[in-house]
Amino acid sequence: MEKRICIGNRWVGKNEPVFIIAEMSANHNMDFERAKEIIKGVKEAGADAVKLQTYTADTITIDCDNDYFQITQGTLWDGTTLYKLYQKAYTPWEWQGELKEYAESMGLICFSSPFDFTAVDFLEDINVPAYKIASFEITDIPLIRKIARLGKPILISTGIAYLKDIELAMQVCREEGNDKVILLKCTSTYPSPYQDMNIETITALQSTFDCIVGLSDHSMGYTVPITAIAKGAKVIEKHVTLHRSDGGADSEFSMEMHEFKEMCEQIRIAEAALGRVSFDLTDAQKKEREHSRSLFVVSDIKKGESFSPENVRSIRPGFGLHTKYYDQIIGKTAVTDIKKGTPMSWNLIDPGEY
């Protein structure tokens, strides 16, 4: 059964519009006014929510430069340490309450990804309406358990997860009585190659875990999000920036505002086109149906003359008898003179021949 979950003042799930999240991440470039400009931009572009990240270099890792802490996985950030990256990329906590208020003043929902217990406590203090578990934190079971106990909606990205990791995270949430979980298909490469997206997994997540599903997307453009919607995604999350040329830790795989706006517009078009299962016709379709095929007299017929393939045909428009009666009519006798262009009807046929 499809579910609905309320995040802030928005329902997400069955029969609801796709919930579009703009991920600011590190693209504020340590400039508070730029962060506000991003929030204003995504609101104007059509986002439903803006998401922050709540950590410091010291809460997410340690200051150590041995081999374990070097970034060498072939990423955008190779050549530095985890600590040094997060020193540049974090969002100052003293900004976050004000950014949340600013977003909410515009009608946006604002929430965050916490990365340790102190971040969860901080976000509770500013009363976020939901929590996001980032892909790399899906293996942090104590963190997931602490968040689940709060009873608020949880979005979980699956970018580095095996099936067993997802199963365990979902099990922990349900053990804590929290079934307000949305699973986000994700591919944790930056940017993500299209051939690695495996959007078909979205339907498998939904059926396997009986939950709302979505996409946290790091691919370029909006083709993948539109594809995900067609597969049942009810949440789309995308990284955003003002201009990729401004730089920043995540800028290379982030959408500029005009691109994000176009994606939002295309999502609304796609979900409108998907609609619902229906074999009804709209009023416009019913009118167009008049141009469908039916049986017509196509040459003048005299009273007593037989109907034949030469004088009765299946043609457009659709005001005559249904074409399924063609074989029954051929060979029958006309009871009156009939002009070419007359819709075929039973009262034109000798009733004794029915």
CATH topology match: 13-55+90-274 vs 283-353 = no
CATH class of 13-55+90-274: alpha beta
Per-residue pLDDT of 114-153, as tens digits, reads 999 999 999 999 999 999 999 999 999 999 999 999 999 9
Mean pLDDT of the chain: 95
pLDDT beyond 90 at 75: no
In whole angstroms, give the CA distance from residue 354 to residue 328.
8
Cα distance from N-terminal residue to C-terminal residue, the chain: 51
> What pTM does this model have?
0.90
In whole angstroms, give the CA distance from residue 36 to residue 50.
11
Per-residue pLDDT of 276-291, as tens digits, reads 889 999 999 999 999 9
CATH class of 283-353: alpha beta
Segments making up each domain of the chain, as ranges: 13-55+90-274, 283-353
Count helices and strands (H / E) in the chain. Answer: 12, 12
Grade residue 216 by pLDDT with cuts at 50, 70 and 90.
very high
Q: Cα Rg for the chain, rounded, in angstroms? A: 30
Alpha helices of the chain — where are they, by DSSP H?
32-45, 57-60, 82-89, 93-105, 117-125, 141-148, 163-175, 201-209, 223-230, 257-274, 283-288, 326-329
pLDDT given for residue 1 in this prediction: 44
Q: In this structure, is the dihedral angle defined by the CA atoms of residues 128, 130, 136 and 139, taken in order, positive or negative?
A: positive
Grade residue 76 by pLDDT with cuts at 50, 70 and 90.
confident
Grade residue 31 by pLDDT with cuts at 50, 70 and 90.
very high
